[in-house]
Amino acid sequence: MNDPSTLRQMPTETEMYAAILGRDTAYDGLFFTAVRTTGIFCRPTCPARKPKPENVEFFPSTGEALFAGYRPCMRCHPMELTGRPPEWLRPLLAQIEQDPTKRVRDRDLVTLGLDPGRVRRWFQSNHKMTFHAFQRARRLGNALEEIRGGRDVTSTAFDHGFDSLSGFNSAFARFTGASPMQTKDRALVHVARFLTPIGPMIAAASEASLHLLEFADRRMLETQLERLTRRTGAVLAPGMNSILEQTQKELNEYFDGFRTEFTVPLEPAATEFQVAAWSALRAIPFGDTKSYADQAAAIDRPTAVRAVARANGDNPIAIIVPCHRVVGSDGKLTGYGGGLRRKRFLLDLELRVAGKDVQLSML
Just list the catalytic residues: 323
Three-state DSSP class for residue 63? helix
As to burial, measured by CB atoms within 10 angstroms (0-12 exposed, 13-18 middle, 19+ buried), residue 263 is exposed
CA–CA separation, 65 and 42 (whole Å): 10
CA–CA separation, 80 and 256 (whole Å): 15
CA–CA separation, 150 and 173 (whole Å): 19
Three-state DSSP class for residue 330? coil
**By the 8 A CB rule, do 313 and 281 touch?**
no
CA 16 to chain centre: 22
- Which residues, at least 6 apart from 222, have a Cβ–Cβ distance to it below 8 Å? none
Spell out a b/e string for 142-153, using b for 16 or more CB atoms within 10 Å of the CB, else e: bbbbbbbeeeeb
CA–CA separation, 91 and 137 (whole Å): 20
The DSSP bridge partners found for residue 189 are 236
Length in residues, the chain: 363
Spell out a b/e string for 202-228, using b for 16 or more CB atoms within 10 Å of the CB, else e: bbbbbeeebbbbbbbbbebbeebbebb
